[in-house]
Amino acid sequence: MYEIFSTAERDAFIPHCLAPDVNWPNVADGVRLHGHEAVRAYWAAQFAAAHPLVRLEGLRLDEEGRRVVALVRPGLRDATGEHWAEESVEHVYAFGADGLVSRMDVRRP
């Protein structure tokens, strides 16, 4: 998923990865997004402003063994190159019975 996110294929990938009613964070605005179209529009706005990057650094199950926690380093690419954040964050994924992401949260490790 992280490899696809940084490419033009991300829109086509959404229905194969995210539940139709996915609950997704808009971290910049502090709100939650719901559904494919909201996530698609959010990602389009991100890529219109800059080219966001996410480097996967590790995966594990959460403390309850019910969600997947991805340790990631956010960054962006611009005309001067790639710029990576100094600190990593955690993306926490919950999955529905269909195996698709039903919710994603971002938190500090």
Domain with residue 7: its CATH number is 3.10.450.50
pLDDT(78) > 90? no
The pLDDT value given to residue 83? 93
pTM of this structure: 0.91
The pLDDT value given to residue 51? 87
pLDDT(8) > 90? no
pLDDT(3) > 90? no
If you search the block for the tokens 């990938």, which residue do you land on? 13
pLDDT(23) > 90? yes
State the residue range of the domain holding 103.
2-107
pLDDT, averaged across the chain:
93
- Computed from CA positions of residues 12, 16, 22, 28, in that sequence, does the dihedral angle turn out positive or negative? negative
Domain count across the chain: 1
Q: Are 90 and 60 in contact (CB under 8 A)?
A: no
